[in-house]
Amino acid sequence: MTPYLFLAPAVLVMAVALLYPIGYMIWASFLDWSPSQRIGEAEFVGLRNYGNLLGDAAFHESFWVTLRFAALVVGIEMVLGVGLALLLDRELRGMTVLRTVFILPMMIAPIVVGLMWRYMYHPTVGTFNRTLSDLGLPTVPWLSDGDWAFASVVIADIWQWTPFIFILALAALQSLPRSAMEAARIDGASGWQLIWHIKLPLMMPVLIVTALLRLIDAFKVLEVILVMTNGGPGLSTEILALRISRTASEFQQLGYAAAMSNVLLILLLILTLAMFGYTKVQELRAARIRAAEEEA
């Protein structure tokens, strides 16, 4: 019983701080509940909230925007982050300072990031349009046009979270066995061949887990988009987290918002299980390789 006694305090904290709120949210999704009621006074409606989601065009649009946003930002951030890691994986004077500068954006609070980019995207006094005007080029409706607004929030997210990919990719690079790369160089491998055939394959387990972690986080982005566009114009930048927030606060439909939250929770749970499953497969594969080496 000793191990379970040591685990008991942590399990108790998790049950109170995590499992109880999730259970509360699941129960609320079966109710027609408004902020003016206690949860015990709300009408039980069964699966009606989930049924309404099937015909809710705004929910479908937010879901599609979320998928596009997550896929686009994670894909671009992976390319840029890994590229920067490969570029800076060398010993040069001032490289430590340069690496520190690269990770500064992810240290800034999301609200501040949203405000900063909103001011830079301002149609008349913003940095980007003023630069375009000075160059004699037409200005861009960064936040007033649906397509440009979506591109604007994507750019802001890429700026803030590419350093996250960069840090993990650089750590993976620096932990690679130097013997494999030295052997490839002796065999005459070029720099590009070293990257494509040695470095990237060896980094792939870390990169896949990193991409899944970033994908999970991208589905939950709220503050930056809330400050920059508040989901507009129209629903062009309204991701699912923002739709849930507005449903609960503006429309005061707590049960309906809870049903949306559960859909998002299931989606994130699938991604999390995929990450854990991949990690487990890699551990089993590594164990088989070690066993084969010991037998040999």
Residues of CATH 1.10.3720.10 domain(s) within the chain?
60-295
Percent of the chain with pLDDT over 70: 99
Per residue in 234-292, pLDDT tens?
899 999 999 999 999 989 999 999 999 999 999 999 988 988 888 888 888 878 877 87
Q: Does domain 60-295 have CATH number 1.10.3720.10?
A: yes
Q: Could you tell me if 216 and 149 are in contact, meaning their C-beta atoms sit under 8 angstroms apart?
A: no
pLDDT tens string 130-159: 999 999 999 999 999 999 999 999 999 999
| Chain position carrying tokens 């570029």 | 87
Q: What is the DSSP code string of 152-200?
A: HHHHHHHHHHHHHHHHHHHHHHHTS-HHHHHHHHHTT--HHHHIIIIIH
Model confidence at 191: pLDDT above 90: no
Q: Phi first, then psi: what are they for 32, rounded to 5°?
A: -95, 90
The rounded distance, in Å, linking the Cα atoms of 3 and 271 is 30
pLDDT in the model for residue 182: 81
Mean pLDDT of the chain: 90
- Average pLDDT estimate for 36-54: 91
Q: What is the largest CA-CA distance in the chain?
A: 76
Any idea which of 60-64, 195-199, 218-222, 244-248 has the lowest mean pLDDT? 195-199
- pLDDT of 291 reads 81
Q: 93 pLDDT band (50/70/90 cuts)?
A: confident
State mean pLDDT over 11-38: 90
Q: What is the pTM of this model?
A: 0.88
Asked whether the predicted pLDDT for residue 57 surpasses 70, the reply is: yes
H helical segments located in the chain: 2-14, 20-28, 48-54, 57-88, 95-102, 110-120, 127-134, 146-174, 178-186, 191-194, 200-218, 223-228, 240-249, 254-295
Name the residue with higher pLDDT: 79 or 91.
79
Residue closest to 165 by CA, chosen among 71, 79, 70, 107: 79
Exposed/middle/buried for 13, CB within 10 Å: 0-12, 13-18, 19+?
A: exposed
For residues 59-77, give the mean pLDDT: 95
- d(CA 136, CA 138) in angstroms, rounded, equals 7
Cβ–Cβ under 8 Å, residues 114 and 227: yes
Asked if pLDDT for residue 39 goes beyond 90, the answer is no
CA distances 211 to 20, 107, 173, 217, 292, Å, are: 30, 19, 16, 10, 30
* pLDDT, position 287: 81
pLDDT at residue 145, rounded to an integer: 93
Q: Per the structure block, which two tokens stand in for 54?
A: 């099937």
Q: What is the pLDDT of residue 296?
A: 65
CA dihedral 181, 184, 189, 194 (to 10 degrees): -30
